[in-house]
Amino acid sequence: MALFLSASLFGLLSKVLAQDSFDPLEYVDPLIGASNGGNVFPGASLPYGMAKAVADTTSGSNQGGFTLDGAPVSGFSMMHDSGTGGSPSLGNFPLFAYTNCPESDINQCVFPKKTRTMFGGVRNDSIIAKPGLFGITLNSSVHVDMTAAHHTALFKFTFLTVGTDGQPAQPLILQDLTDLSSSREDNGTVSVDAETGRITGSARFTSSFSRGQYVLFFCTDFKGGDILDNGIFANSRASADVKEMTISRSINGYPLPGGAFVRFKSGAEPIIARTATSFISAAQACSHAETEIPTFDFDEVVDTATKAWRAKLSPIKVSTEGVNKSMVTNFYSGIYRTMINPQNYTGENPLWESSEPYFDSFYCIWDLFRSQLPFLTITDPTAVEQMIRSLIDTYRHVGWLPDCRMSLSKGYTQGGSNADVVLADGYIKGLRGGINWQDGYAAMVKDAEVEPFDWCCEGRGGLDSWKSLGYIPVQDFDYKGFGTMTRSISRTLEYSYNDFCIAQLSPSLSSTPEPDKEKYILSSTNWMNLYNAKQPSAWWNNTPTGFTGFFQPKYLNKTWGYQNPLNCSNQDSFTSCSLQNTGQETFESSIWEYGFFVPHDQATLISLYGGPAQFVARLNYLHDQNITYIGNEPAFLTVFQYHYAGRPSLSTLRSHFYIPRYFEPTPDGLPGNDDSGAMGSFLAFAMMGLFPNPGQNVYLITPPYFAHVNITHPVTGKTARVVNKNFDPSYQTNIYIQSATLDGQPYTKNWIDHSFFTEGKELVLTLGRNESSWGTRVEDLPPSLGKYEGFNTTYSLRRAMAAKGVKRSGGEGNGGEGVNGRYTPGFGLLQGDKVDV
Ligand SMILES: *[C@@H]1O[C@H](CO)[C@@H](O)[C@H](O)[C@H]1NC(C)=O
Ligand SMILES: *[C@@H]1O[C@H](CO)[C@@H](O)[C@H](O)[C@H]1NC(C)=O
Ligand SMILES: *[C@@H]1O[C@H](CO)[C@@H](O)[C@H](O)[C@H]1NC(C)=O
Ligand SMILES: *[C@@H]1O[C@H](CO)[C@@H](O)[C@H](O)[C@H]1NC(C)=O
Ligand SMILES: *[C@@H]1O[C@H](CO)[C@@H](O)[C@H](O)[C@H]1NC(C)=O
Ligand SMILES: *[C@@H]1O[C@H](CO)[C@@H](O)[C@H](O)[C@H]1NC(C)=O
Ligand SMILES: *[C@@H]1O[C@H](CO)[C@@H](O)[C@H](O)[C@H]1NC(C)=O
Ligand SMILES: *[C@@H]1O[C@H](CO)[C@@H](O)[C@H](O)[C@H]1NC(C)=O
Ligand SMILES: *[C@@H]1O[C@H](CO)[C@@H](O)[C@H](O)[C@H]1NC(C)=O
Ligand SMILES: *[C@@H]1O[C@H](CO)[C@@H](O)[C@H](O)[C@H]1NC(C)=O
Ligand SMILES: *[C@@H]1O[C@H](CO)[C@@H](O)[C@H](O)[C@H]1NC(C)=O
């Protein structure tokens, strides 16, 4: 009996141990996206940490600091963004190290950033990159390991040779008042304490995707060697006699090099530099350093960071059985990248006094709203609550929700006021924790109602036209607010969806609830006003695509303008499609792709496109002809929109078309900028088998890429599971869902809501080699504002248009069904309706 008991106890124990021995960090490779334009930050950071330590290269693609493309290192800095395009952010106050200066003469060491790179060649096989740790050896035989606490980084310099020409090692470590994009303005300051070698200073820099500037302070201390001397450098000359300096930007195109240095008597032992930054003061930077890393214990800081990452990634556990390890690495590395940005600058905001959290590096919400923030809502809802509180607090003090925010500055808006989607998504998924939703609702309504004088960087433009005409006209007349007058089509589509999102908040949050809800539901149908049913689309050589009916620009006088529906597609490398004054009427994507951006009313869109079969043919054409580009965020949802046409199997097929072909777990494996973790979150959701339609309580179901996935909700503690029966880990057969059960009951809907995660439900998918009828009936389809009725009639469309008094482009008269634009929760799916496929 005793023997039996202990044996079974042993069995139980080893089972528990086996489960606990699953370490997600084994599958994280921070170097994914470190070349080929992924622009990922591959260095050492805590989740959402402000300190991000890495070696910075001179690559033209060094937005994330380090690149694995052969470019040499110019320094080691501790502030970064991740995955962004545009100018590089941050990278302030880099350190650089020499084993000695020739003939022990400091003036023979090379100080300026542009020239010291000749000592910055990278030994490729030396690179160590793990969550919380980055290490690299330069061809100058200096090896540098780095790790990070929240505001403080540790750099451990190891000198592998005793010095050139048999001279003794007298290591010199310099700190440069520069940043990645050489944006320093006048009056950078630096001083070095003769006795301790502590370097402090500050400088004003330019934010990367904005007109703003920010002032950053730093504090650096050293440990590990006796100080030989120290001083400052200006341009290429240095002196140990001078201990402080205020430096001009100079009249050249880049700031004059300048900073401080400390020299040590011996390089026999590693020298550790501890450097912290603060947006408040150098004293606060020093205080962060002293409290966060009091003992300079490198291994202990690595250990703390490792544990922090393990805790963040552990809520998601997948069965690795049979699956190519590269798939698991893809998955967990993608999840890891969702928690580099946004960054937690709570206590570091000099712009206003507040007890609310402050997050920065929402870079940009146009990228993040689609899957990154929805992903964190599942795995780290407490963090998203704090981010939403920060967005709302930014509205309180700056006047508007941001669309993009980095380095304390308002970034440029790309399309709509998409923070509205972030708030709606959090609200309908039950985020509450200290969020003042009244203020959140007021912020969203302000986006819809009040036009900023300068809508470069917040709110919306063209609101007079929007309200009077129901669309943003091309070549609008707007004398109240000013911004780049392009993107009239994509702005109309995004404003429409933003309005739908406003209507997702509970009526109890506003003083005049119901009329607002009705009003925003009605304006959320404005996208229809730019639909030209007669517009064909042909290739540059006039070969027809075979599809008719596209969004088109419309003038103030309600006549149509023209933009080739293929302009700004992946097949168009000629046209300017970003924020240029000559930009097109769609932002960074084509009318073809924006033609699917009606996230709230796929049913009506399907009707417009001639029914589900035509809708599917159009989606296939979009993907198969490379019109879409999976490396930019508008493509994400199009992979899964087959669900709305009753063809969930085609979403699965399309997901496998892109993963891993366009997402290899290698440094050059990402299809484009990671955009702060947006690509990583796309991978994580797609491979988990549940893709969100953000702003709605909807996840579209496809089979996970693993035999099962367990997702433990960090707040409720409940574990949701998706299980694949008949799973084929090679994905060659059995990728299609034949049937499903939810908590043991048959489940035929092709989507599920957020209670799946909070209540820890179990979804069991039975897979087979052929497409089945699972999830294909109208009652199985995800919610849509219009009705999935007939599927080959335009009844609901005519009715919605009649409600707004607009005429259909095809010349049809008003439908005359009477006003019926009412929004009904549950979306009024007709029982028994069939999908015509
Ligand atoms: C290091 O790797 C990069 C990227 O593969 C390559 O461009 C570079 O030439 C390599 N450097 C050396 C010294 O092999
Ligand atoms: C070290 O790397 C730099 C930058 O790549 C290069 O210019 C230099 O020649 C290299 N030096 C040695 C000794 O390999
Ligand atoms: C630099 O300092 C001078 C003198 O105090 C001041 O006039 C100038 O505005 C400062 N420039 C910047 C960019 O702070
Ligand atoms: C997922 O949960 C199930 C049920 O508790 C458990 O048997 C399985 O081992 C878990 N999977 C992983 C990878 O932890
Ligand atoms: C695993 O995936 C990698 C990367 O796609 C591939 O190179 C390798 O051949 C695969 N291994 C197996 C056993 O299929
Ligand atoms: C952000 O930082 C503040 C202050 O250090 C802390 O209280 C909060 O928990 C942090 N938030 C997250 C999500 O880590
Ligand atoms: C409407 O305005 C456009 C742009 O100014 C102009 O080209 C077009 O002729 C106008 N159409 C009518 C009917 O006035
Ligand atoms: C579309 O692209 C073509 C080819 O790149 C270009 O000539 C044209 O100006 C662009 N704009 C429109 C409105 O067609
Ligand atoms: C689309 O692009 C892929 C690779 O980028 C290429 O293999 C394929 O031939 C392209 N298809 C078309 C229709 O251009
Ligand atoms: C499944 O598809 C295969 C290949 O298309 C076909 O040969 C087979 O008959 C199908 N099986 C069923 C049960 O429909
Ligand atoms: C609509 O569907 C009905 C019944 O399936 C069919 O008879 C009719 O031709 C279809 N109309 C159009 C315009 O496709």
What CATH number corresponds to the domain at position 727? Answer: 3.30.2080.10
23 lines ligand 4 (CB under 6 A): no
For residue 793, tell me if it sits in a domain: yes
792 lines ligand 4 (CB under 6 A): no
CB 565 within 8 A of CB 591: yes
pLDDT for residue 795 is more than 90: no
- Give the closest ligand to the alpha carbon of residue 661: 5
| Cα gap 144→142, rounded to integer Å | 7
Give me ligand 1 centre to Cα 69, in Å.
6
Locate the ligand 6 atom nearest the alpha carbon of residue 48 and give its number.
Answer: 14
Give me ligand 3 centre to Cα 248, in Å.
9
Lowest-confidence region among 297-301, 503-507, 538-542, 749-753: 503-507
For helices 381-398 and 372-379, what crossing angle results, to 10°? 130
- In single-letter form, the type of residue at position 823 comes to Y
Write the residue with the smallest CA distance to atom 5 of ligand 8.
574
Look at 639 and 807; give whichever has higher pLDDT.
Answer: 639
Residue 819: pLDDT band by 50, 70, 90 thresholds?
Answer: very low
For residue 71, tell me if it sits in a domain: no
The structure's pTM equals 0.92
Tell me the average pLDDT across 201-210: 97
Residues near ligand 6 (Cβ within 6 A): 48, 344, 346-347, 357, 383, 386
pLDDT for residue 2 is more than 70: no
Locate the ligand 5 atom nearest the alpha carbon of residue 327 and give its number.
Answer: 2
Locate the ligand 3 atom nearest the alpha carbon of residue 186 and give its number.
Answer: 13
706 lines ligand 4 (CB under 6 A): no
Say what the pLDDT of residue 3 is: 42
187 lines ligand 3 (CB under 6 A): yes
Tell me the average pLDDT across 268-288: 98
For residue 218, tell me if it sits in a domain: yes
Give me ligand 9 centre to Cα 624, in Å.
8
626 lines ligand 9 (CB under 6 A): yes
| Cα gap 778→722, rounded to integer Å | 24
733 lines ligand 10 (CB under 6 A): no
| Cα gap 786→795, rounded to integer Å | 10
| Cα gap 647→386, rounded to integer Å | 37
- Give the closest ligand to the alpha carbon of residue 622: 9
Locate the ligand 5 atom nearest the alpha carbon of residue 665 and give its number.
Answer: 4
Tell me the average pLDDT across 736-746: 98
Residue 790: pLDDT band by 50, 70, 90 thresholds?
Answer: low
For residue 128, tell me if it sits in a domain: yes
607 lines ligand 11 (CB under 6 A): no
For residue 724, tell me if it sits in a domain: yes
Write the residue with the smallest CA distance to atom 2 of ligand 9.
626
Say what the pLDDT of residue 167 is: 72
Write the residue with the smallest CA distance to atom 1 of ligand 10.
770
482 φ, ψ (degrees, to nearest 5): -130, 140
Q: Where does residue 14 rank: exposed (0-12), middle (13-18), buried (19+ CB within 10 A)? A: exposed
591 φ, ψ (degrees, to nearest 5): -60, -35
Mutation probe of ligand 5 site: the residue of 321, 326, 327 with most atoms within 8 A of C-beta: 326
Give me ligand 2 centre to Cα 43, in Å.
22
69 lines ligand 2 (CB under 6 A): no
Q: Degrees (nearest 5) of the Cα angle 805, 808, 814? A: 50
574 lines ligand 8 (CB under 6 A): yes
Tell me the average pLDDT across 253-259: 91
Locate the ligand 4 atom nearest the alpha carbon of residue 19 and give its number.
Answer: 14
792 lines ligand 11 (CB under 6 A): yes
CA distances from 88 to 355, 382, 502 (A): 31, 29, 34
Q: How many residues does the chain have?
A: 837
Residues near ligand 7 (Cβ within 6 A): 555, 557, 559
Q: Degrees (nearest 5) of the Cα angle 577, 580, 585? A: 45
Write the residue with the smallest CA distance to atom 5 of ligand 7.
555
- In single-letter form, the type of residue at position 716 comes to T
pLDDT for residue 510 is more than 70: no
pLDDT for residue 540 is more than 90: yes
Lowest-confidence region among 566-575, 627-636, 812-821: 812-821
Q: What is the pLDDT of residues 551-567, one digit of tens each?
A: 999 999 999 999 999 99
Give me ligand 7 centre to Cα 31, in Å.
53
Mutation probe of ligand 2 site: the residue of 96, 118, 138 with most atoms within 8 A of C-beta: 118
Write the residue with the smallest CA distance to atom 5 of ligand 9.
626
| Cα gap 479→402, rounded to integer Å | 23
Give me ligand 8 centre to Cα 366, in Å.
25
% residues pLDDT > 90 (the chain): 87
204 lines ligand 3 (CB under 6 A): yes
pLDDT for residue 12 is more than 50: no
Write the residue with the smallest CA distance to atom 13 of ligand 3.
186
For residue 789, tell me if it sits in a domain: yes
433 lines ligand 2 (CB under 6 A): no
Nearest alpha-carbon partner for 240 in 196, 272, 194: 194
Write the residue with the smallest CA distance to atom 11 of ligand 5.
324
| Cα gap 484→487, rounded to integer Å | 8
CA distances from 140 to 69, 73, 119, 207 (A): 18, 11, 5, 32
Say what the pLDDT of residue 794 is: 37
Give me ligand 10 centre to Cα 521, in Å.
44
Give me ligand 11 centre to Cα 597, in Å.
26
Task: Out of 292, 311, 330, pick the residue that ends a domain.
Answer: 311
Mutation probe of ligand 10 site: the residue of 769, 771, 773 with most atoms within 8 A of C-beta: 769
Domain count, the chain: 2
pLDDT for residue 831 is more than 90: no
- What count of other Cβ atoms lies within 10 Å of the Cβ of residue 319? 18
Look at 515 and 770; give whichever has higher pLDDT.
Answer: 770
Give me ligand 2 centre to Cα 101, in Å.
17
95 φ, ψ (degrees, to nearest 5): -95, 155
104 lines ligand 9 (CB under 6 A): no
186 lines ligand 3 (CB under 6 A): yes
Tokens coding 186: 């006048």
Locate the ligand 6 atom nearest the alpha carbon of residue 47 and give its number.
Answer: 14
769 lines ligand 10 (CB under 6 A): yes
625 lines ligand 9 (CB under 6 A): yes
pLDDT for residue 203 is more than 90: yes
Give me ligand 9 centre to Cα 682, in Å.
21
Write the residue with the smallest CA distance to atom 11 of ligand 10.
770
Look at 226 and 512; give whichever has higher pLDDT.
Answer: 226
For residue 812, tell me if it sits in a domain: yes
How far separated are the first and last CA of the chain, in Å rounded? 64
571 lines ligand 5 (CB under 6 A): no
| Cα gap 746→749, rounded to integer Å | 10
Say what the pLDDT of residue 801 is: 46
pLDDT for residue 632 is more than 60: yes
Give me ligand 4 centre to Cα 342, in Å.
31
For residue 409, tell me if it sits in a domain: no
DSSP 715-745: TT--EEEEEEET--TTSSS--EEEEEEETTE
Tell me the average pLDDT across 671-699: 98
Task: Out of 255, 286, 311, pick the residue that ends a domain.
Answer: 311
326 lines ligand 5 (CB under 6 A): yes
Give me ligand 10 centre to Cα 412, in Å.
52
pLDDT for residue 823 is more than 50: no
| Cα gap 764→742, rounded to integer Å | 6
Locate the ligand 9 atom nearest the alpha carbon of residue 571 and give its number.
Answer: 14
Tell me the average pLDDT across 354-372: 98
Q: What is the pLDDT of residues 70-125, one digit of tens each?
A: 999 999 999 999 999 989 999 999 999 999 999 999 999 999 999 999 999 999 99
- Give the closest ligand to the alpha carbon of residue 662: 9
Task: Out of 281, 311, 341, pick the residue that ends a domain.
Answer: 311
Locate the ligand 11 atom nearest the alpha carbon of residue 610 and give its number.
Answer: 14
Residue 446: pLDDT band by 50, 70, 90 thresholds?
Answer: very high
Locate the ligand 3 atom nearest the alpha carbon of residue 185 and give its number.
Answer: 13
Provide the CATH number for the domain around residue 275: 2.70.98.10
**Segments forming the whole domain that contains residue 182:** 93-311
539 lines ligand 9 (CB under 6 A): no
Tokens coding 391: 């967005």
